[in-house]
Structure 1
Amino acid sequence: MDTKLQIIDISKSLFQQKGYKGVGITEILNACNISKGSFYHHFPNGKEELLITCLQSINETITTSIEFFFNHYPTTQEATHAMIDKLVADFEREGTIAAATFTSIVSEMGSLSDPARNVCLDLYSKMQRIYSTKLVAEGFPQETAHSIALMMTASLEGGIMLCLTQSSSDPLKIISNVIPNLFKKY
């Protein structure tokens, strides 16, 4: 693995475990076994540039995963259940769902810089677009599909945070049981 990818991979894990503010450059350098010069060669603008790169990488991973479920299941309800089942299984196996959310990284940041905020906005917009597109294909009106997609995104992100803080997969299991109510046609 090349040095830049190694820095990104290790830093994603550190940020997800400790948050952005909880990880210092020295810790990243030690974990990656690199010099400060090497770090700044790859990320001349420092830790925030690294954060944005990590968020973009997570964005791609999450979007690909969601698209997989929504392309392989015939209905939004089935895709959502399958996706939540995987999140629950991941949590129960690993004790975390870090790869499925930005929230674990940026939750402690009261105000994000515009570049970091835009990466987060991009992910949440993609998530909502995937959900909304599937709902419209199932016959939901555009406005209703957008509203349901927003509720799905908020519920799943909130559920993941609750799982992490409660050390339990129960919040996602409950969401999985309640979310079908969103799919009742109006």
Structure 2
Amino acid sequence: MPDDRKPRIINVTRKPTKCPDCGERVVDIVYGTGDMTEIEFALQYRKEAIMGGDNIPRRPPIWCCVCGCKRFRKVNPDGIDVAVKVKMLKNIRKAPASVINWSSDTVDRALERNQIELIHKYTLDITTEFEEKETLVVTAVSQSDAELLAIDLVRNGVVGLKGRICIKIEVNKKNT
């Protein structure tokens, strides 16, 4: 009986925008990640990718569907492999904290109680003790809640490179 299944690795000439099998987004595969999970990678580097592990195959796929059903290897139009530079974890820079819409725990409680009118977006201009500056958009139930969230983000090392203390927080309510 012939095997009618489609191959797991598909040869392509350029990165597809979506998977031809399931229709999901296609993201980069990052190698050299060890046992890191996609969630740990997203939290630490603030980017979306599939973890390729530490072993790089001879003909490595460089993109993957987000559900993992298909991987994609880059080839020339004549089908010959293209020399590619695989993405390695050690070469990836963290995206800025501003790409995430942070929210406080009180927002979750307000949502559970269906108190949506209490929830607001705020723009925070944060300065650490080393004069590191960051602008974040956060969701909180009050200005003081937004300030507490900013202090917590700085203390946990999300904002700034060295600073762990907020010396200045400017909070502005966003008009939505």
Name the one with the larger strand percent.
2
Length-normalised TM-score, structure 2: 0.29
- The structure with the largest alpha-carbon Rg is 2
Name the one with the larger helix percent.
1
- The structure showing larger relative contact order (alpha-carbon pairs under 8 Å, at least 6 residues apart) is 1
